[in-house]
């Protein structure tokens, strides 16, 4: 029997934080623009530049934390919500330490920083008093970034520089080729990073994707291409199709139990619904955003389910 998830966060609850963010973000942002314009005109940097930059960073970090907290606690299964026990102080410490170590190691620590940040949110989440535990390793992510992003980027940069020197008149063509190659390499990078993120233990069960590399990358690439050739119109449907593809291949398993995730897609109505929420957000200049994100979350999670199967070991016992 399928048991469906639910999303209980409402736009009304999220709206005050969204308004506070808009106020605290745009005031220092305007100050930054004034300071930058002064420098471009030959003047001295404004005294508010550094305080405004610092405030922007803190506001962005705070928004990320509280949005994540609200979204996590909004997820419900069998009428019980996920609990989140992380504090903003510990989150801020994780962020500042991660930034510092990433800077002094010239970005090498970035993979471990991403691990620490993802682990913070996962490990401080629990359901029915049982905590989730993230099992991904920083070294694994570093290898993914190195092989799928850093080395290909270096190779592309060398190629572009060589072509520019040999044929300066073909600069536009070289740039287009560079962008296409970059788009191609981002597909496996994105897939492998998300697959790395879905590596969680819960009550002795491992939650992970059961996906094939080439099929998964092919699906991602197809949805990106369709989005591009339709100038973004197809994007909501791409999101729905990718969400279904990976939801249907997410499994929580142990030697005794197998729980399969899935999503009951209604592609046409999902597409129209998502576009409706996007357009309402646009015409209200972002004011409707809290309701849009909560409505989309409710629709998507409300069609996401878990189905328990008997594991082979239990069936033959």
If asked whether residues 159 and 259 sit together in one domain, one would say no
72 with 118, same domain?
Answer: no
Range of the domain at 133: 86-123+129-197
Looking at residue 26, what is its pLDDT?
Answer: 74
pTM, two decimals, is 0.87
Domain boundary among 197, 215, 235: 197
pLDDT of residue 94: 95
User: Is the domain of 208 the same as that of 302?
Assistant: yes
Give the pLDDT confidence score for residue 49 in this predicted structure: 63
Same domain (yes/no): 307, 236? yes
Closest to 194 measured CA to CA, from 240, 153, 156, 250: 250
- Using alpha carbons, select from 70, 68, 58 the residue that is nearest to residue 21: 58
Tell me phi and psi for residue 297, to 5 degrees: -60, -40
35 and 98 co-located in one domain: no
Same domain, 50 and 148: no
Overall number of domains in the chain: 3
Say yes or no: 66 and 159 in one domain: no
3 domain-assigned? no
Considering the domain architecture, whether residues 276 and 292 belong to the same structural domain is answered as yes
Domain assignment present for residue 4? The answer is: no
Same domain for 302 and 211: yes
Closest to 94 in 3D by CA, of 116, 109, 110: 116
The reported pLDDT for the residue numbered 38 is 63
Same domain, 104 and 137: yes
Residue 2 within any structural domain of the chain: no
DSSP 88-115: HHHHHHHHHHHHHHHHHTTTTTHHHHHH
Same domain, 35 and 91: no
Q: Return averaged pLDDT per consecutive 10 residues of the chain, 317 residues in all.
A: 94 91 76 67 61 75 90 95 96 94 94 97 96 97 96 89 78 81 93 98 96 97 96 96 98 92 96 97 94 97 91 49
The pLDDT assigned to 317 comes to 40
- Inside any domain, residue 317: no
- Please indicate, yes or no, if residue 316 is contained in any of the structural domains: no
Q: Are 199 and 131 in contact (CB under 8 A)?
A: no
The structure tokens listed for 207 are 């939650």
Handedness of CA 167, 172, 238, 14 (dihedral sign): positive
Residue 169 lies in a domain: yes
Domain boundary among 145, 176, 197: 197
* pLDDT the model gives residue 41: 62
Co-location of 118 and 219 in the same domain: no
Sign of the CA dihedral 276, 278, 281, 284? negative
Structural domain contains residue 50 = yes
Predicted confidence at residue 55, as pLDDT, reads 72
Residue 1 lies in a domain: no
What pLDDT score was predicted for residue 39? 59
**Domain end residue (candidates: 197, 226, 246):** 197
131 - beta bridge partners? 126
């Amino acid at each position: 029997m399928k048991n469906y998830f639910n999303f209980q966060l409402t736009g009304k609850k999220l709206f005050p934080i969204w308004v506070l963010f808009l106020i605290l973000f745009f005031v220092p942002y305007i100050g930054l623009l004034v300071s930058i314009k002064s420098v471009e005109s030959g003047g001295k940097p404004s005294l508010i530049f550094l305080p405004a930059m610092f405030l922007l960073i803190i506001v962005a970090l705070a928004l990320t934390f509280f949005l994540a907290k609200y979204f996590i606690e909004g997820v419900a299964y069998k009428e019980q919500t996920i609990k989140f026990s992380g504090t903003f102080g510990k989150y801020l410490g994780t962020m500042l330490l991660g930034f510092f170590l990433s800077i002094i190691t010239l970005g090498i620590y970035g993979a471990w920083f991403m691990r620490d940040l993802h682990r913070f949110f996962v490990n401080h989440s629990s359901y029915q008093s049982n905590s989730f535990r993230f099992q991904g390793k920083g070294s694994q992510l570093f290898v993914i970034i190195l092989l799928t992003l850093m080395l290909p980027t270096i190779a592309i940069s060398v190629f572009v520089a060589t072509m520019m020197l040999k044929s300066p008149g073909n600069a536009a063509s070289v740039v287009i080729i560079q962008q296409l190659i970059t788009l191609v390499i981002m597909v496996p990078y994105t897939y492998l990073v998300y697959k790395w993120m879905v590596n969680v233990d819960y009550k002795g069960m491992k939650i992970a994707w059961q996906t094939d590399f080439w099929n998964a990358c092919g699906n991602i690439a197809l949805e990106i291409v369709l989005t591009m050739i339709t100038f973004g119109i197809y994007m909501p449907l791409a999101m729905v199709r990718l969400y279904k593809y990976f939801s249907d291949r997410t499994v929580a398993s142990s030697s005794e139990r197998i729980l399969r995730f899935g999503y009951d897609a209604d592609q046409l109505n999902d597409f129209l619904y998502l576009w409706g929420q996007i357009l309402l957000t646009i015409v209200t200049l972002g004011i409707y955003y809290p309701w849009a994100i909560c409505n989309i979350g409710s629709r998507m999670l409300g069609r996401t389910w878990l189905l328990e199967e008997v594991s082979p070991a239990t069936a033959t016992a």
